[in-house]
Amino acid sequence: MDERLLSEKTVLLGASFPDKVAAIRACGELLVAAGYAERPYIDAMVARDEMSTIYIGNGVALPHGTEASRRYVKRTGLAIVQVPGGVDFGKGNVARLLVAVAALGEEHIDLLTEIAQICVDDEMLDRLINAATASELLSVIAPERGDAPEKD
């Protein structure tokens, strides 16, 4: 995975939220703070879940904006929020890992493919959900980066 897409500053570990909207908004705040998106993108992420759940299964949710909200994306990037206690996405779906996406053009297709591969690997997913540090989490996603994740 391209190291410019994810860094320690877009990883939040050990989070807890009262509901899915708060969790989605926290993901959006990370994307905005990292310069991947403008603030209106956060509302679009919430709207996207209202249109059709962003819960993708196996304890993972994929917050992202609506098609119309792409104009608020500055550059492609990811944020990962670990929620050990889980957050309810309805119908018995509890997410323990949220992988937020802000993507320009069709770049999100490759990102979604990489994320899907991670999420179907139970061992890798368990390591992400239980990572104690952002560096540890990043080493699971991009082991070729070694112990030197981007810290910008």
Helix axes 134-141, 122-130, angle to 10 degrees: 160
Neighbour order of strands in the sheet with 55-57: 11-12, 77-88, 94-102, 60-61, 55-57
SS3 83: strand
Catalytic site includes residue 108: no
From the list 28, 30, 44, 64, the catalytic residue is 64
Helix or strand holding residue 101 (H, E): strand 94-102
Which residues carry out catalysis? 64
